[in-house]
């Protein structure tokens, strides 16, 4: 596999199970993934669809679940109609999340890979970094708020 186009890490003050739930529960995903509705059955080889609105434009992004190893790794292909490209493999990305327990904390690494075609320029990479960082910050906040609420009971 090629080197990632973008790779980011975050430390979340919650256990791996809480982070995994946030990655795979549509009602939680919507909180940190820019309001996107996620539709999938989380089975390898099955479709995943993201619907929402980005910069005032409705979108339906599509992909396929590639790996699902609860508490360890989740990956899927991703193609956005907003990019104005066809759904051919050379226009698709692979998004991979890896989780690692660090005691009561979880290290989450997100990597985005090109499936083919040309590598994005630095401007596009920076756009991807900015968007993924915002998503990871939202994910961390969502999980930590939920973990804090759970620990108070």
6-30 per-position pLDDT tens digit: 999 999 999 999 999 999 999 999 9
Sign of CA dihedral 30, 27, 24, 81: negative
| Residue with token string 């609860």 | 70
Q: What does the mean pLDDT of the chain come to?
A: 89
Distance CA 37, CA 64 (A): 16
Find the mean pLDDT for residues 123-144. Answer: 95
Residue 118 DSSP one-character state: P
Say what the pTM is: 0.89
Are the C-beta atoms of 100 and 106 separated by less than 8 Å? yes
CATH class of 6-151: alpha beta
Distance CA 15, CA 21 (A): 10
Strand locations in 6-141, DSSP E?
6-12, 37-40, 47-54, 57-69, 73-80, 93-102, 105-114
Are the C-beta atoms of 61 and 47 separated by less than 8 Å? no
Distance CA 97, CA 72 (A): 8
Model pLDDT, residue 150: 62
55-110 per-position pLDDT tens digit: 888 889 999 999 999 999 999 999 887 665 555 566 689 999 999 999 999 999 99
Alpha helices in the chain (DSSP H): 16-24, 26-32, 122-151
Distance CA 76, CA 123 (A): 24
Tokens of 130: 């900015």
């Amino acid at each position: 596999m090629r080197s990632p186009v973008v790779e980011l890490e975050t430390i979340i003050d919650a256990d791996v199970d809480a982070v995994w739930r946030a990655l795979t529960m549509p009602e939680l995903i919507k909180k940190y993934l820019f309001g996107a509705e996620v539709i999938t059955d989380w089975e390898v080889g099955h479709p995943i669809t993201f619907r929402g609105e980005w910069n005032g434009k409705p979108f339906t992004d599509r992909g396929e679940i590639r790996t699902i190893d609860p508490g360890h790794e989740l990956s899927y292909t991703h193609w956005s109609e907003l990019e104005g490209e066809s759904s051919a493999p050379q226009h698709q990305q692979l998004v991979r999340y890896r989780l690692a327990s660090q005691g009561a904390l979880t290290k989450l690494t997100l990597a985005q890979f090109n499936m083919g075609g040309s590598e994005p320029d630095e401007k596009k990479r920076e756009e991807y970094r900015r968007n993924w960082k915002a998503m990871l910050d939202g994910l961390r906040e969502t999980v930590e708020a939920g973990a804090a609420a759970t620990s108070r009971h």
